[in-house]
Amino acid sequence: MKLNFLGKGSAFYPVYGNTGAYFLYGKELYLIDCGETAFDHLYHLVDLDEIEKVYVILTHLHADHVGSLGTLISYFYCLRQMQVHVVHPEHTIVELLTLEGIDKKGYVYTERLPENGAGLTAEPVEVKHAADMKCYGYILSDGEDCIYYSGDSSALPEQVLAGFLEGKIGRIYHDTSTHDSPNPSHCFYGRLEQWIPAKERSRVFCMHLDSPCEELLKEKGFQIVEVVK
Ligand SMILES: [Zn+2]
């Protein structure tokens, strides 16, 4: 499973685009999050007219993660008469889309990822990010490859760290911040350093960057996600 990143930035560092990723399986499009900059970027990267199925797996409802979802849904419904599959453990996404004028006929909402052509499974893991909103990371597996995608998260869940150190989870894609605070919303890189032994850091990919901090993170042994141009 190769994730193609549409962006690697945080909400307040739009230079790097909103963090999110996609992959194609034949004519099926799988998206993780759909932030404000996602639809525009995707439109220029993928021939959407060729796509026959779309799944969008959402981590949470902040605008830099769902900001162009309404447009994506409308595009496929109005121009292709196709319903995008929207996946999120919380029903609040339906309320948000309704307020945006997106009719329920325009998409299919499910709490969990339905069976799909790619054989992808997405196990949601609740993470710490915002006090007023439930947020999720996902353990994603296609039968060969198992990865963890954090979404926005200030901490690495214990079960994920254990699975990673045992080798059951091959790679971690994690929210990484250069700022620390007593009550963080994002994951200060110093915490990742504490949790991940140096020899395992090449399997950890930093995303949601709040500044050009790539060299600093690479010096610590971490990798950085690559954004598709
Ligand atoms: Zn957020």
Q: Does residue 45 sit within a domain? A: yes
- The chain-wide mean pLDDT, for the chain, equals 97
Q: Does residue 143 sit within a domain? A: yes
CATH for 111: 3.60.15.10
CA of 50 to the centre of ligand 1 (A): 31
CA of 62 to the centre of ligand 1 (A): 5
CA of 132 to the centre of ligand 1 (A): 11
Q: Does residue 27 sit within a domain? A: yes
Q: Quick check: 2 and 24 in contact, CB under 8 A?
A: no
- pTM, two decimals, is 0.97
Looking at residue 170, its pLDDT comes to 98
Looking at residue 206, its pLDDT comes to 98
Number of domains comprising the chain: 1
Rounded to whole angstroms, how far apart are CA atoms 173 and 161? 12
Q: Does residue 202 sit within a domain? A: yes
Q: Does residue 154 sit within a domain? A: yes
Side by side, the strands of the sheet bearing 20-25 are 4-7, 20-25, 28-32, 53-57, 84-87, 107-110
Average pLDDT, stretch 187-210? 97
**Length of the chain, please?**
229
Vertex 201, ends 196 and 204: CA angle to 5°?
A: 95
Q: Does residue 229 sit within a domain? A: no
CA of 81 to the centre of ligand 1 (A): 31
- Structural domain that includes position 60: 4-224
CA of 33 to the centre of ligand 1 (A): 11
Confidence of residue 49 (pLDDT cuts 50, 70, 90): very high
CA of 226 to the centre of ligand 1 (A): 20
Model pLDDT for residues 116-156, shown as the tens digit of each residue = 999 999 999 999 999 999 999 999 999 999 999 999 999 99
Q: Does residue 205 sit within a domain? A: yes
